[in-house]
A and B are shown apart, each in its own frame.
Chain A
Amino acid sequence: DTAVSQTPKYLVTQMGNDKSIKCEQNLGHDTMYWYKQDSKKFLKIMFSYNNKELIINETVPNRFSPKSPDKAHLNLHINSLELGDSAVYFCASSLTGPLDGEAFFGQGTRLTVV
C-alpha cells in the first residue's frame, strides 16, 4: 500500500482555470504538508496542517488554499492558474512532537499551465 498518495500525477491546464490536487496518507500521521519544486529543482514548503489546523502558511499567493477534510487528507486548491504555477507539487506527512520522524513524500504532481 502506498503511504502517501497524490492524484493526479500529471496535470495540464490552461491559464485562468481552477484545479485541485488530492493527497491522502495511511500512516496515521498528525501533520501533512505541501511543497513546491520549481524548474530548478528547488523545494519549498507551502503549507502544513496539524490536526486540521494550519500551522505554517508560507508567503504563497492566496490563490492557493489547502483543504483538509480529515487528518488523512490534505488537498491543494489553486484558483486562477498562472504560467508561473507550473511546477511539481509534493504532498508529505510526518509525526509531530518529540518522536517526530522523517517526512514521507508522495510521488509528486507535475502541473503544467499553458
Chain B
Amino acid sequence: AQKVTQAQTEISVVEKEDVTLDCVYETRDTTYYLFWYKQPPSGELVFLIRRNSFDEQNEISGRYSWNFQKSTSSFNFTITASQVVDSAVYFCALSEAVSGGGADGLTFGKGTHLIIQP
C-alpha cells in the first residue's frame, strides 16, 4: 500500500530564512507521481508541482525548489528567502499509475504547517 510521511507537523521560521519541508513516500509501483499542494488559511488547495517517477531532475521555480531522490524515496520542498505569504499548510501526495490508464486518487501526507514570522 502506498504511504506518504511528512514528519514535520509544524515549522516556524523568521521571514527571509530558507526552509525545507520533508516528504518520504512508500510505494510498490515503479511508475508513480509525486505532488506538492499548498493550503493557505483561506482553505483552497493550490497545486505547486507534479513529478513522475522517471524524472529525477530537481526543479526550481522562483523561490521554490524540489529535490526528488528515488534512492531515499524522498521528495523534499525548499522555500528560499521565505515570506509571510508562504505561511500555509503544505501537503505532499502520491499517485500510483494504474495499469490500463485507470484513475487513482492521491494519497496525502498529513501536511506540514509552515509559519513565517515577520
Stretch at the interface among B19-27, B56-64, B73-81, B100-108: B100-108
Query: Among residues 9 to 33 in chain A, which have CB atoms less than 8 Å away from a CB atom of chain B?
Result: 30-31, 33
| Size bin of chain B's contact surface | 20 to 34
Min C-beta distance of B91 to chain A, whole Å: 7
Establish whether residues A105 and B44, one from each chain, have CB atoms under 8 Å apart when the complex forms: yes
Min C-beta distance of A2 to chain B, whole Å: 11
Establish whether residues A56 and B105, one from each chain, have CB atoms under 8 Å apart when the complex forms: yes
Establish whether residues A55 and B45, one from each chain, have CB atoms under 8 Å apart when the complex forms: no
B13 at the interface (CB under 8 A from A): no
Interface of A is mostly: strand
- Closest chain A residue to B89, Cβ basis: A41
User: Which residues does chain B contribute within 8 Å of A45, judged by CB atoms?
Assistant: 105-107
Query: In the complex, A105 Cα to B43 Cα: how many Å?
Result: 11
Min C-beta distance of A46 to chain B, whole Å: 9
* Given A42-B108, A102-B35, A102-B50, A97:B44 Cβ within 8 A: no
User: Which residues does chain A contribute within 8 Å of B35, judged by CB atoms?
Assistant: 102-103
**Using a Cβ–Cβ cut-off of 8 Å, how many residues does chain A contribute to the interface with B?**
30
User: Which residues does chain A contribute within 8 Å of B33, judged by CB atoms?
Assistant: 100
Query: Among residues 63 to 110 in chain A, which have CB atoms less than 8 Å away from a CB atom of chain B?
Result: 88, 90, 94, 96-98, 100-105, 107-108, 110
* Given A90-B45, A101-B50, A102-B50, A55:B102 Cβ within 8 A: yes
Q: Which of A33, A90, A100 has the most CB of B within 10 A?
A: A100
Chain A residues close to B by CB (< 8 Å): 30-31, 33, 35, 40-45, 48-50, 55-56, 88, 90, 94, 96-98, 100-105, 107-108, 110
